[in-house]
Amino acid sequence: MEQTLISTMNPVVVGIVNAALPGLGYIIVGKRRVFGWLLLGNVVITYAWMFVYQGTVTPGMWGPLEINSWLGLLAVALLFAAFGYDGYQLAKER
């Protein structure tokens, strides 16, 4: 098996990368990739959500939701999906 830069990467570096952008370490190492992509997607959407302009319209329960509300809901859904998927995979491995 040919060694690449990623396969020989220092675990400390991978840990730091994963702490800075959760999920990226899983993708780099090549294990739990779906979990990593779901976490990384959650982080990217959460960062975008934090910096979206907070409009003046208050979203009502039955009214239209602003983009920041949809981004927040999507971020939470991705986070739940990531941990649900990981739990499922761990249970299958037993």
Per-residue pLDDT of the chain (94 residues; tens, 9 = 90+): 455 555 567 888 888 888 888 888 888 888 889 999 999 998 888 887 777 655 544 555 445 556 667 777 888 888 888 888 887 776 677 5
pTM comes to 0.63
Q: Which of 37, 36, 43 is nearest to 74 (CA)?
A: 43
- What confidence score (pLDDT) does residue 4 get? 55
Question: Between vectors from CA 78 to CA 35 and to CA 9, what angle results, nearest 5°?
Answer: 30
In the chain, how long is the greatest CA-to-CA distance? 57
CA 22/CA 61 separation, integer angstroms: 32
- What confidence score (pLDDT) does residue 62 get? 46
Question: Between vectors from CA 8 to CA 5 and to CA 12, what angle results, nearest 5°?
Answer: 110
- What confidence score (pLDDT) does residue 17 get? 85
